[in-house]
Amino acid sequence: MSKKSVCMRIGRKFKEECCLIYTVSGEPIQWADHIRYLGVDIVSGRKFKLSLSNNVKAYYRSVNAILSKLSNCASEECSVRLVTSKCVPILIYGLETCELSNAQRRTLDFMTRRTFMRIFKTRSVDVVDECMAKCSLSSFSFIADKRRTAFLLKIKTSDNELCKYFSE
């Protein structure tokens, strides 16, 4: 039981040494600097923060799998639709739960450009921006922000008393 459970601290004193906590059976629960909960990586720190590293790896795995199978025989439009519908949700999964840092936003924007550079077979940022505009594509950070706004609105208008309490 205690192997599946860990403790993690978030807040001003997140780096301070903590005493062991024991289970009912007397086994100690270990302290961790990050945890994975429902597919989301939470990192210990001053503020509640998510790690993108596993999302990024899974995203690139799925993009590489799709683009290698297409191997230049599908149109750019088909490639874009497959990546945006199948891979982007993997990347932004769970990100609506907290505000993205500037570094995380830059990572998502970089990934947007690199992915579409590969699809449109160019190294020019201007060409990618033009292609994205023509295809009505948004950067991944913008998509994550839109999902966060929808998530917060859903919580605020929820009938659940706990959701109402935390939204105020």
Q: Give residue-wise pLDDT tens across range 7-55.
A: 888 888 888 888 888 888 888 888 888 888 888 899 888 888 888 899 9
Q: How confident is the model at residue 159 (pLDDT cuts 50, 70, 90)?
A: confident
SS3 assignment, position 30: strand
Q: Which residues contact 87 (CB under 8 A, 6 or more apart)?
A: 59, 62, 63, 66, 115
Contact 20, 26 (CB under 8 A): no
Burial class (CB in 10 A: 0-12, 13-18, 19+), 163: middle
**26, 109, 146 from 102: Cα distances, Å:** 43, 10, 16
Token pair listed for 68:
């290698």
Q: What is the pLDDT of residues 102-138, one digit of tens each?
A: 999 999 999 989 999 999 889 999 999 898 888 888 8
- Angle made by CA atoms 102, 105, 111, in degrees to the nearest 5: 145
Indicate yes or no: pTM above 0.85.
no
